[in-house]
Structure formats: C-alpha cells, structure tokens
Amino acid sequence: MRLYNTLTRTVDEFSPREPGQVGMYVCGPTVQDVPHLGHARAVIVPDVLRRYLEWTGLEVLHVRNVTDIEDKIIARAEAEGRMAAAVADHYGRVYDEQIARLGVLPPHIVPRATGHVLEMIELIERLIEVGSAYPAGGDVYFAVRSFPGYGKLSGRSVDDLRAGARVDPDERKRDPLDFALWKAAKPGEPSWRSPWGPGRPGWHIECSAMAVKYLGDGFDIHAGGLDLQFPHHENEIAQLEAASGRQFARWWVHNGLLNIGAEKMSKSVGNIITLAEAIDGHGADVLRLYYLQAHYRSPVEFSEERLVEAGTAYARWLAFLRAVGDIEPSAAGSEPDDARRRFVAAMDDDLSTPQALAVLFDLVSAGNAHLAAGRRAEAAALRGAFTELAAVLGFGLERSERPTSVAPLVELLLELREQARARRDFAAADAIRERLAAAGVVVEDTSEGARWHVGG
RNA sequence: GGCCGGGUAGCCAAGUGGUAAGGCAGAGGACUGCAAAUCCUUUAUCCGCGGGUUCGAUUCCCGCCCCGGCCUCCA
C-alpha cells in the first residue's frame, strides 16, 4: 500500500522492514484525566491501519505506551490529595475501559513509563557519552544543536525555532531549545534514583526508550496525533538517533486533530467532550463512521449534527443486515469481488477510508436493490462482502439484541395486531405498534409479515 | 514572524490534466390501510479570487484573500 510519511512529506509505497511483519508504535495517553473525543480519533486511526495491514496478510506487532509519570499527573495528584501513582492508575483504568468500548484491538504490548526508567537512564547516559546531553544541577538536558538532523520530521530549522523564541530561557540550559531528559525531583515529588540524583524522566525520552526496546531500531511505523509532531516526535528521533546513530522509525503517521468551534479539542483549551458521553449518546460504530468519513490526515470539526447524520447513515447498514437476515448467499457473481477490489484500491491509497466507506454504502444500496427485486441470494452475497469489509474498518455491527425473555410477548402482540389488521381494525393495530415503539420495539411491515427489532 | 495543511453542491466529504465518489438534507415517483424501511429518478455548467503553462486545469505554476494546526502541555 501507499502511505504518507511525515518524514518524507510524500505518499510512499509501504514495505515493512521484515517481510510479512510490521512493528507499529503509537503514542498513548498521559493518564491525568478522562479520555475525550480527540483521543478516540488518535486510537481509531492506527486501529484501522493495523486491521487493514493484518487483513492483507501482514503480522502487526502493536505497541502503545502509557505515560504514567509526568508533571500534570503530579499536579493532579496534588489537587486531589493523593499519590501520583494512584491518579495514573485511576485514569489509566478509565482510559482502558472507554477505549475498549470503541471496539479497538488491544495493543500487544502496553508499556508504562514508570516500568522503564532504567532503560531511559541508560539511554540518557549514552547520550551524555556521545556528547548530545549534559547534566545541569540535578537535571539532564538534550543539546539540540548537537544533533544535525534536528527538525527533519517537522520541517523546521533550529534557527526557525530560535526566531519563534517562545521557549522558556532556563539558565541551566546551554541553549533555550534544549529540552529535559531528566528532571530533578522537588521535595515530595515521586522520584527514581539516577546517576544525577533523584528525579524523574522527561516526557520525550520514554517513547524513544520503549519503542526501541520492544520494536528495535528502524521499526516500521510510529503513529500519533499531529499535535505531537513537534516537539514530541522530533525529540524522540533526536534522542534515539543521536544515541544509536541508526534510524529510529521508518514511517511517521500523524492523524489530523479533532477541532471544536474552530479550535482543537483539548484539555488545556477546556472544550472537551468526553469519550464516555459520546459513546453513550451515539454508539462506538457511529463514532467510528463519523471519523472515517474524513481522511485520517484532515482535521475534523466536531459537530453533534454530523454525529446524528452519521447515525442515520449507520442505521441503513443495520436495516440492510436485518432485511437480508440469514439467507444463504448465491454462488458467485462479480459484485462482491468488484467491491473488494475497489475497497483495496481505496485503502491502498494512503488509507482512504472515505472511499472505502463509499464501497460499503454502494454494497448496501445494491443489496437493497436486489432485495427489492426479490433476488435474496444475491443480496446475501453482498451482505457477505459488506460484513467482511466493515470488519476490516473495525465496525462491530452489533445487530439489535432481541431479548429472548420478551420475544414471545412481542410475537404474541404482533399476532394480535395481524388479526386486527385482517379485520381492518387499524386503530387497534396502530395502537399496538405505538405501544411497542414506546417500549423500544420497532415494528416494520414487510411483504413477508411484520419484522421487529429493539431500538431505533 | 517562521513552518505545515486546507478552501469542492444546502451541510459533511472524496477525487482527477480531458470534464466531479459517498453520506446527510431536499424534490418527484413506486410500494404501503397508515407508518417505517426500501427501490427508481432528481439536486455542483462547476471545484476561494486573479494571472500563467497546456489542445484542454477544479486538478500543475505564480500572486492574492480567507481558515486551521504547530512553534508552550496536548492524541
């Protein structure tokens, strides 16, 4: 497939380092608060990439870290009057719960920063050895100007950054652009022993250390939100490549951000919609459809109306699946294969999920047309292609549950309604349908009798 | 100020050097006791503005106008 690489600024033909095997590292959350809709996008995009790569026959080793020690966690702990570890543990659990609800495949490895302090210390020591880092007080800083490649990911030159000059001039830094690899602990702060005294790792060093520990130098894909491109990812590259002299990651994949009211959704802006409330309100599949209708690199503007529209479109999928039922598919026909071909072409083109979704919508339309014409086996064949491809995009397509406990009661009411209709007592028939609707049971009449399902 | 990305129908959103996917909404028709669902038809003479290259540009180049992101923690 062809995949955009931020490092080259072009869409390049993707080929893994080891034939058949892909190593993918995704920047995970800083567990300092509940996840919001922006986090969901950053997790769905790599999920779709992984599922597609696996569907094409590759084996993907998926690593997603957890930043469980960081300034903001410490601040939160102080505010809540408990230990930083307790804060991280709590929000880590919340994150896991909500992300699981999204139907995202769990990563194979979920390394935590606090479990890899030794690896980070070793990396920092190595950086000091090669002259790319220096201790100052109890801190250690990375010397940005010692790494000639600095800026290659984000397309900036060190002098451009200088001009921006919004970096805090700390007198312990030799250069204002230098960033902390190790931070000395203030009294009462959580700390680890190190050659430079008690302290904690800087934010960027954990990803360099953990990615390479689990995936090795020059692993295939490093993903994350566009807002991490600079400085986080730039610093990750600098740290690892300055220390090893070898390439860190081969492909950099950045998802576009979720904006709200023309500003990105962000904790610090204070305009977040929590993931939990969005899933409660719309369902995981609808959220996924909402995101995937835009290309992964484009910004998406949050809109409740758009989400409702996505829900309407999604309802058509479920209605089609209900209408086809469990009919056996017909032998063949070229339609399913044509759809698969179009789907592959779309996904191979830099993960063009909008075009891939168009294939799914076309399958539903064509399938419904078959049904309307009485070609049920052909419709079932399209259902097969549809469910297969929808699964590649990560859709769960949970068909409305029909609780067995109420099924006999509903069937009884529908029988009574049929009798009422037969004697043209439509008032009674409609009353039954309305009462069922009020109870959450939707009744639809078809040429083969009434059909019912739970939910809207 | 620097570095990126974008401006396509009522809304969202793909895409291509040869004349515009898909979704939502709208219109007409079919089916139906009604409703829902579904089917059929239909909805951008045009892709921010002005130049240029070309037989031909929405698609390439230049300029301009607007919008967003990053440059500070952030998915």
What pLDDT is stored for residue A275 in this prediction? 95
* Span A139-143, average pLDDT: 95
Strand B: positions under 7 A of a protein C-beta atom: 1-6, 11-15, 21-25, 32-40, 67-75
Structure tokens at A54: 């696996």
Name the residue with the least CA to C1' distance from nucleotide B23: A313
Q: Which residue, among A188, A174, A192, A185, has the nearest Cα to A135 in the 3D structure?
A: A174
d(CA A134, CA A196): 10
At position A206, the amino acid (one-letter code) is: E
d(CA A133, CA A129): 8
Confidence of residue A338 (pLDDT cuts 50, 70, 90): very high
Q: Which residue, among A340, A22, A294, has the nearest Cα to A14 in the 3D structure?
A: A22
- A167 Cβ nearer than 7 Å to chain B strand: yes
Cα distances (angstroms) measured from residue A183 to each of A74, A190, A360: 13, 11, 51
Confidence of residue A260 (pLDDT cuts 50, 70, 90): confident
- Residue A200 (CA) to nucleotide B18 (C1'), in angstroms, measures 62
Going through A247-403 in order, the beta strands assigned E by DSSP cover: 249-255, 258-260, 263-264, 300-301
- Residue A110 (CA) to nucleotide B55 (C1'), in angstroms, measures 59
d(CA A353, CA A140): 43
SS3 call for A1: coil
d(CA A4, CA A297): 9
- Residue A8 (CA) to nucleotide B64 (C1'), in angstroms, measures 29
**Residue A187 vs residue A332, higher pLDDT:** A187
d(CA A137, CA A119): 21
- Residue A338 (CA) to nucleotide B54 (C1'), in angstroms, measures 35
What pLDDT is stored for residue A168 in this prediction? 56
- Residue A235 (CA) to nucleotide B57 (C1'), in angstroms, measures 41
- A310 Cβ nearer than 7 Å to chain B strand: yes
Q: Which residue, among A179, A86, A197, A176, has the nearest Cα to A141 in the 3D structure?
A: A179
ipTM of the complex: 0.94
DSSP A274: B
- A69 Cβ nearer than 7 Å to chain B strand: no
Q: Which nucleotide is nearest to A346 (CA to C1')?
A: B14
For A229-249, the pLDDT digits (tens) are 999 999 999 999 999 999 999
Structure tokens at A213: 């520990």
pLDDT above 90 covers a percentage of chain A that reads 80
- Residue A284 (CA) to nucleotide B9 (C1'), in angstroms, measures 30
For A404-420, the pLDDT digits (tens) are 888 899 999 999 999 99
CB under 8 Å to A125, separation ≥6 — which residues?
A195
What pLDDT is stored for residue A259 in this prediction? 86
Residue A203, pLDDT > 90, answer yes
Residue A5, pLDDT > 80, answer yes
DSSP A270: T
- A372 Cβ nearer than 7 Å to chain B strand: yes
- Residue A390 (CA) to nucleotide B73 (C1'), in angstroms, measures 37
- A158 Cβ nearer than 7 Å to chain B strand: no
d(CA A95, CA A68): 12
